[in-house]
Amino acid sequence: MSISAAGTGARTRAGALNLLVAGVLWGTGGLAGSVLATKADLHPLAVASYRLLLGGGFAVVLLWLTGGLRTFPRTYPRTYPRTFPRTGTVARRLLTAGALLALFQACYFASVTLTSVSIATMTTIGSAPVFVALGDAVLERRRPSNATVLSLAGALLGLALLTWSPGGGDRWRLVAGVACALVSGLGFATLTLATRRQVEGLDPLRTTAFGLLVGGVLLLPLGLWTGMALPARLDVLAVAAYLGVVPTALAYLAYFRGLRRSQPVLAALAALLEPLTAALLAAVLLGERLGVLGWCGAALLAGTIAASYLRPRE
C-alpha cells in the first residue's frame, strides 16, 4: 500500500513538474510574439495564427517521427488503438481543444490591443484559476478546499502587485479589453476542464498537435484579414520558428501531459508562471523596471505556486 501510494505521489509530482515547465515556456511566448510583431509588422491576431499553425505543424512532425501516425507494434496494450483513431469522440475532443485554443488566443490578443499587455495578461491568466475552481466545484459537486481558496487569493494578489499600473485611457476601451480578457480566461479554464480526462487513442502529443492545428485553421481567417505577410529574413524566421516550437508545441505538450496526473486547479495555477516569467524576462532583457510592488508580487506568486506544488495530495 505504501509502495502504491509512493508511486502515485511520484506520478503526481511529475505531472505538476510538467505543468510548471509549461508555464515557464509559455512565459517566453509573449516576448517572442512581441519581437515577431515588431520585426514583421504583424497584427496580434496574425501572430496568434502563426503561433498555433507553426506549433501544430511542428507537433505533427514530431508525432510522425515518433510513429504516432503509423500502425503500432503488437507490444502495445490491446486497449491502445493500432492506428490513429477516427472516432466521433476523438473528433469532438480535437474540435473542442482547437476552438478553445483559438478563442483563448484571439480574445487575449484583442485585449492586448484594447488595453495593455499587463492588464490583458493579469486578467486572462489571473481569472483562469478562479473559473477552473468554480467549474471543478460544480462538476465534482463539492466546494473548493480552504487551501485552494487561499492559493487562488494569493495568486490573484501576486498578479495584481506584479502587473499593477495605474493610468488613464479610454474607459470603454478598458471595459471592452477586460471583457475580452475574461472571455480568454474562461476559454483557457474550459480547455483545462474539458481535456483533463484522456480520450482513448489521444495521448498528449496527439492532442497538442491536432488541437493546435485546428485552432490555427479556425483563427486563420482573422489572421489573413489583418495581413500575414512574413519578411523572408533569417531573424524573422528564427523568431517565428521559436514561437511555434518552444512556447507553443513543447509548452502545450508538457501541459497536456501534466494535466492527466494533476488537479485542474493546480494546472491553472501553474499557468500563472506565464506572466511571472514574462515580467522577469522583460525586466532582464528589455530593461523594464518591476518596482518594489512588482517584485513583491513576483515573490508572492512564486510562493503560492511552490506551496501548491509541495502540498500533499490525497
Euclidean distance between CA atoms 86 and 153, whole angstroms: 43
Nearest alpha-carbon partner for 45 in 102, 99, 94, 96: 102
Euclidean distance between CA atoms 174 and 202, whole angstroms: 40
**Is the pLDDT score of 53 beyond 90?**
yes
Nearest alpha-carbon partner for 42 in 224, 176, 177: 224
**Is the pLDDT score of 192 beyond 70?**
yes
Tell me if the pTM is above 0.85.
no
pLDDT score, position 105: 86
How does pLDDT run across 223-242, given as a tens digit for each residue? Answer: 999 999 899 899 999 999 99
Euclidean distance between CA atoms 150 and 155, whole angstroms: 8
Cell of 56: 501544430
pLDDT score, position 311: 54
How does pLDDT run across 281-307, given as a tens digit for each residue? Answer: 776 776 666 667 767 776 776 677 666
**Is the pLDDT score of 38 beyond 90?**
no
Structural domain that includes position 103: 2-310
> For 132-160, what is the mean pLDDT?
76
**Is the pLDDT score of 216 beyond 70?**
yes
Euclidean distance between CA atoms 71 and 77, whole angstroms: 13
Burial of 20 (0-12, 13-18, 19+ CB in 10 A): buried
CB 97 within 8 A of CB 123: no
3-state class of 236 per DSSP? helix
Number of domains in the chain: 1
CB 80 within 8 A of CB 203: no
pLDDT score, position 37: 85
Euclidean distance between CA atoms 284 and 3, whole angstroms: 44
Split at pLDDT 50, 70, 90, the class of 72 is very low
Which of the pair, 250 or 109, is modelled with greater confidence? 250
- Which residue's entry shows cell 519578411? 231
How does pLDDT run across 120-130, given as a tens digit for each residue? Answer: 776 777 777 77
